Amino acid sequence: MKINVEYLKRFAAFDLDDRALKDLLAGIGLETAETQSIGGETVLDLETTPNRPDWLSHYGIAREIAAKDARLRFTPMELSGVKLPPASDDFSIHIEDAADCRRYSGCIVRDLKVTESPPEVQRLLLSLGLRPINDIVDASNLVMMTCGQPLHIFDLERLQGAQVRVRRARKNETLRLLDERVVALDERHLLIADASRPLALAGIMGGLESGISAGTRHIFIESACFEPVVIRLGAHALGMKTDASYRFERGMDAEATLPALRMALLLLARSQGRALVPAFFQDVYPRPQLRPALRLEKDFPARLTGMEIPAAVCAAILGRLGFRLRDEGGHWLVTPPSHRVDAEYKEDLVEEIARIHGYDHLTGEMPLAANPVLRIDHERVTVQRLKHQLAGAGFNEVINYVFQSPEENLMADPQGSPLTLKNPLGRDFSVMKNSLLVGLLRNTAANANQGVERVALFEIGKAFGLEGRQVRESRRLAISACGLQQRKDWRQTGLDFDFAWFKSQLASLGRRLRLELAFRRDAQPLFSPSCSFAVEVNGRGLGRAGEIAPEPRRHFKLEKPVFAAELDLAALIAAVPESRFRLWNRYPATRRDFTFLMPMAVSYEELSAAVERLRPAVLESYELTDVFQGNAIPAGKVSFSLGCTYRARERTLTGEEVNAVHLEFVGRLAAQLGLIQR
Amino acid sequence: MIDELKKEIEGARRSFIHELESIQSPEQLAALKERCLSRKKGVVSQFLARLKGFVPAEKPLAGGAINQFKEFVETALAEAERTRGAAVAAKGEWLDPSLPASELPVGRFHLIADIQRQIEDIFLQLGYEIAAGPEVEREEYNFSKLNFPEHHPARDEQDTFFLEGHDDLLLRTHTSPMQVRYMLEHKPPLKIISPGKAFRKDDPDATHSPCFHQVEGLLVDRGIHFSHLKGTLEAFCRSFFGPDIVLRFRPGYFPFTEPSAEVDISCFMCGGDKADCRVCKGTGWLEILGSGMVHPQVLRNCGIDPEEYSGFAFGMGIERVAMLKYGVPDLRLLYENDLRLLGQFG
């Protein structure tokens, strides 16, 4: 809202420099977005809030200044000399539905000569960003900038049937607006019409045909109060926003229509250089505006703010703001002024008191609120553990948008139906992402392009999908690695990431939570068929892992292989077992090695499955200590070494016992899988 | 045959221990190592060479015994080299402990996540719980129950993403709907913060992002007033930005609080003393929070009697706080995930 400071002083005679004025305004909730000096006068652009349509005028700001500084008085324009005649029946105003229009006041002025506004009016309008047009249009604009009430002025000779009607548009009606646009109308639009045709979009914009032109002689001035929601929906339907619609959709003061009409007559009398007496006047007010009195306990402002504000101060502040108070002993009955559409609750009154008294009187105090029984946030603890583990292993956290392109969703899941935005920022951000993996690939490519050699990333975020009509969002952990695992220097060799390394990281992530992750071969979108796994714990699916397939890699122009995984965090956290003390086995363990040649056609997966099947009771654990393939090894075979640890729960095993068990075990293993002992 | 081998190995073990104990110089240590582990003539290799002569059933046992011996010898020699390493080095072997450390990879947390964690930690210490909610939210919780009437211009200030085919759903424009969810499910006293992503249809620029992070706070109990809000935010801001921070409350407007306040902190960089301060632009103040007393209609909408209870709520943007605190000049940088930026924080 643009405010000309010199003009403002006419309605509250404050004596403040610009800095002090801006501070005063900021203290009561009006921030200055911009300060301009136009023709030697200061113009402030104030940021107003949607609850205070009364701020959208010089009157509104002057009232606030006068309320803040008790020495000042709000002095509106003197209008008592402007007379409105009693209604006559040569013209008429009709409101078809009072729900659309609370009040409609109008008058007719005859025998005008359209002229220029006086220079000071033109300067004032220009300073407020409005182009002077002629004295009639300028008067309606100046009334709006002064007291907030939007007016509309019609060329009376363009009206047919000696009437105006406030009615809804009918289907197939059209109207050429002042901006020369022709709009098609329907029942959503509220119109000002004459006996036969639409004249104007009520509260939004006038029609071209009935507008003021150089030849206008007689005018009809409208000063009305339209229903906010009707104006808002009508303007939205046409994608329009005007000074008038902006005010009406916030709620205008129905009591302001007559003073505004008088002000317009006063301004026109000045530009026309003669007293103007309307030839017709009518005020249709079917739905009087009521501001119910609010009950305010006298101690409530202090209770809600914690500030000590004496009752007399509260009463004085409300009084200066135009609220009427009736003292009822322990409480007041407070009636808001007609222009305060926002005062509906007693808390609103407290804000008024605190705001004018000054928020700087607030003293910080710690609440001694009863503490709820605190819940330990196991999920947060677990997530922090995972994050620390990942950072420790050299993975960097990233955060991406939740939306991506439909193609990116298809990459991660060619089957699923996406959750699509109705009004996205663009195609690249038009669906809610169904996986975090594509985002990680994009980040990997961006970093690799910048020459980063080691790109190890993770992200924690939501993925979205549809189950039938239900929207499902699940929290995921996605991890990826591409490029250099270890940089070469004087003490270590350079190594690239490989799947074995990546899988080991995932396994330790699981072990951090005391979970044994299993990797089951399973074709997954995005991953190479030869290296694609479902990640499971205790037979329950957690997500997927593997090496990214060549196609998506090419799409992101990634040269080196990328290893990635995506896990469902809720499922992962749900699987975490409770810790419970267990005495460790205190009997000594005995180790036996088993080195053998295995046909290449047999995978380690099959070997370990066979070990599990044949597992002797005293085989505590086994590990793969060596894999070797080379000149000394026959073709089609790989040399494996298993380190087997034997231990009994209740006693020390003798060497002979272990030998016997081991021999039998490896013998059966060899027989089942066709292994050759070395 | 196997027993014989085992006896021999035991003999070799004893003689090895004896020799190791009598070693006087690094040269003698090296000679011992050569004698035991040399591929061609080492004691261990000689044992291994005899494996061929065993029948298959005994082979693993023999191999195991030899391997055990080999491991023992290796461990003992390594230990001797380590403990007598200084002596070895003093006699001219090159060992420079001033050689540089290898640069092992270190991962970091995203700046936004790290700031969020810092904020969470402060409020956890103040006895708040963390409540997380969905990002795809019901229109009712994002707006209606928070006292944003349908068709009210207040909704324009939060340009909203809507979902195809789901008229009652949207991407939450703030983390405030979590207040509603929590109040509907819990009885006062309530003390929660709700951190997370929020979305507004803003084109990305230096200070806007269609996807951003907020932390929302809510406290509801008997006798809670506006000064409690200020005290709480003072405690938080001093802990997060510095002990000398001063707060300034300015009247503001949020449909779900009454009275409402915009909260500024005194500039933590210049304290308001520098006209050319790059952080506060010379104003001395930084706007960081929106807050207020929970609107009575919001309490009522959530089944809490405003005549009995009152509460306060506040919210802040994590990106803004991060940018201010660490001098990040452009919000878009936080979503590019460039490791050269990420590596500087968290």
Pick among A397, A462, A471, A642 to test the B interface (most B CBs inside 10 A)? A397
Q: How far is CA A588 from CA A647, B64, B74, B313, in A?
A: 7, 17, 22, 61
Largest CA distance in chain A: 128
Mark residue B210 as left, alpha or beta (left: phi above 0; alpha: psi -120 to 50; beta: remaining).
alpha
Orientation of helix A135-147 relative to helix A119-127, angle to 10°: 50
Q: How far is CA B156 from CA B152, B160, B219, B314, in A?
A: 8, 8, 27, 20
Instruction: Flag if B110 and A377 touch (Cβ within 8 Å).
Output: no
| CATH class for the domain made up of A2-68 | alpha beta
Question: CB distance from B232 to chain A under 8 Å?
Answer: yes
Q: Is A239 exposed, middle or buried (0-12, 13-18, 19+ CB in 10 A)?
A: exposed
- Which residues of chain B neighbour A458 with C-beta distances below 8 Å? 107
Cβ pair A567, A475 in contact under 8 A: no
pLDDT tens digits for range A65-78: 999 999 999 999 99
Question: CB distance from B112 to chain A under 8 Å?
Answer: yes
What is the C-alpha to C-alpha distance for residues A359 and B248, in angstroms, rounded to an integer? 8
Nearest by CB to A400, from B171, B203, B335: name it.
B335
- Which residues of chain A neighbour B57 with C-beta distances below 8 Å? 663
Mark residue B303 as left, alpha or beta (left: phi above 0; alpha: psi -120 to 50; beta: remaining).
left
pLDDT (mean) for A606-626: 94
Cβ pair B310, B224 in contact under 8 A: yes
What is the C-alpha to C-alpha distance for residues B159 and B142, in angstroms, rounded to an integer? 12
Cβ pair B259, B266 in contact under 8 A: no
CA A448, chain centre distance (Å): 32
The SS3 of residue B155 is: helix
Q: Measure A541 CA to nearest chain B CA, in Å.
A: 23
Q: Measure A420 CA to nearest chain B CA, in Å.
A: 5
Which positions ≥6 away from B18 have C-beta within 8 Å? none
Q: What is the DSSP string of B61-120?
A: HHHHHHHHHHHHHHHHHHHHHHHTHHHHHHTT----TTSPPP--------HHHHHHHHHH
Question: CB distance from B287 to chain A under 8 Å?
Answer: no
Q: Is A494 exposed, middle or buried (0-12, 13-18, 19+ CB in 10 A)?
A: exposed
The helix, strand and coil proportions of chain B, stated in percent and rounded to the nearest 5, come to 45, 20, 35
Q: Is the peptide bond before B259 cis (omega within 30 degrees of 0)?
A: yes
What is the C-alpha to C-alpha distance for residues B67 and B25, in angstroms, rounded to an integer? 28
Q: Which two tokens stand for residue A48?
A: 């107003």
What is the C-alpha to C-alpha distance for residues A191 and A104, in angstroms, rounded to an integer? 13
Question: CB distance from B73 to chain A under 8 Å?
Answer: no
Q: Does domain A378-575 have CATH number 3.30.9.10?
A: no
What is the C-alpha to C-alpha distance for residues A500 and A482, in angstroms, rounded to an integer? 13
What is the C-alpha to C-alpha distance for residues A259 and A253, in angstroms, rounded to an integer? 11
pLDDT > 70? residue A563: yes
Task: Sketch the domain layout of chain B as residue ranges.
Answer: 2-90, 111-342
Residue B218's nearest CA partner among B335, B79, B312, B84 is B312
Nearest by CB to A50, from B134, B154, B297: name it.
B154
Q: What is the DSSP string of A336-402?
A: --TT-TT--SHHHHHHHHHHHH-GGG-------PPPPPPPP-HHHHHHHHHHHHHHHTT-EE----S
Predicted confidence at residue B64, as pLDDT, reads 85
- Which residues of chain A neighbour B293 with C-beta distances below 8 Å? 304, 347
Q: Which two tokens stand for residue A162?
A: 């000696």
Domains A294-359 and A590-677 share a fold: no
Of the listed ranges A207-221, A528-542, B155-169, B255-269, the least confidently predicted one is: B155-169
Residue A61's nearest CA partner among A145, A150, A123 is A145
Rg (CA), chain A: 40
pLDDT > 80? residue A371: no
Pick among A317, A366, A496, A669 to test the B interface (most B CBs inside 10 A)? A366
Predicted confidence at residue B283, as pLDDT, reads 85
The SS3 of residue B189 is: coil
Predicted confidence at residue B320, as pLDDT, reads 94
pLDDT (mean) for A219-240: 95
Instruction: Flag if B261 and A462 touch (Cβ within 8 Å).
Output: no
CA trace torsion B131, B133, B135, B137 (10° rounding): -140
Pick among B10, B175, B185, B227 to test the A interface (most A CBs inside 10 A)? B227
pLDDT (mean) for A579-608: 92
With residue A225 as reference, give the H or E element that holds it.
strand A219-226
Q: Measure A390 CA to nearest chain B CA, in Å.
A: 7
Task: Sketch the domain layout of chain A as residue ranges.
Answer: 2-68, 92-284, 294-359, 378-575, 590-677
- What residue type is assigned to position A7 of the chain? Y
CATH number of A294-359: 3.30.56.10
Rounded mean pLDDT for each run of 10 residues along chain B, 346 residues in total = 82 81 79 84 85 83 86 84 59 76 94 96 94 95 93 82 93 96 95 96 93 97 96 96 93 95 91 83 90 97 97 97 91 95 93
Nearest by CB to A399, from B112, B186, B224: name it.
B112
Nearest by CB to B135, from A354, A462, A469: name it.
A462
Would you say how long chain A is, in residues?
Answer: 678
- Which residues of chain B neighbour A660 with C-beta distances below 8 Å? none
Question: CB distance from B295 to chain A under 8 Å?
Answer: yes
We find that the CATH architecture of domain A92-284 is: 3-Layer(bba) Sandwich (3.50)
Q: How far is CA B72 from CA B32, B48, B77, B118, in A?
A: 14, 15, 9, 51
Predicted confidence at residue B153, as pLDDT, reads 80
pLDDT tens digits for range A280-331: 999 999 999 999 999 999 999 999 999 999 999 999 999 999 999 999 999 9
Average pLDDT, chain A: 95
What is the C-alpha to C-alpha distance for residues A564 and A568, in angstroms, rounded to an integer? 14
Instruction: Flag if A364 and B109 touch (Cβ within 8 Å).
Output: no
Instruction: Please tell me the pTM assigned to this model.
Output: 0.86
pLDDT > 90? residue A491: no
Predicted confidence at residue A134, as pLDDT, reads 96
Predicted confidence at residue B27, as pLDDT, reads 79
Q: Which fold has domain A590-677?
A: Alpha-Beta Plaits (3.30.70)
What is the C-alpha to C-alpha distance for residues A607 and A456, in angstroms, rounded to an integer? 31
pLDDT tens digits for range A55-112: 999 999 999 999 999 999 999 999 999 989 887 888 999 999 999 999 999 999 999 9
- Which residues of chain A neighbour B135 with C-beta distances below 8 Å? 402, 462, 464, 473
Instruction: Flag if B107 and A423 touch (Cβ within 8 Å).
Output: no
Residue B59's nearest CA partner among B68, B50, B69 is B50
| CATH class for the domain made up of B111-342 | alpha beta
Cβ pair B230, A365 in contact under 8 A: yes
Question: CB distance from B243 to chain A under 8 Å?
Answer: no
Nearest by CB to B127, from A52, A374, A432: name it.
A374
Cβ pair B130, B124 in contact under 8 A: yes
Instruction: Flag if B161 and A447 touch (Cβ within 8 Å).
Output: no
Cβ pair A429, A421 in contact under 8 A: yes
Place of tokens 């993770």: A458
Nearest CA in chain B to A355: B251
Instruction: Tell me the residues of chain B between 156 and 185 that have a Cβ less than 8 Å away from chain A.
Output: 156-157, 161-166, 169, 171
Nearest CA in chain A to B297: A345
Instruction: Flag if B99 and A354 touch (Cβ within 8 Å).
Output: no
Cβ pair B337, A399 in contact under 8 A: yes
pLDDT tens digits for range A159-206: 999 999 999 999 999 999 999 999 999 999 999 999 999 999 999 999
Predicted confidence at residue B86, as pLDDT, reads 46
Question: CB distance from B99 to chain A under 8 Å?
Answer: yes
Question: CB distance from B10 to chain A under 8 Å?
Answer: no
Predicted confidence at residue B84, as pLDDT, reads 64
Pick among B175, B199, B225 to test the A interface (most A CBs inside 10 A)? B225
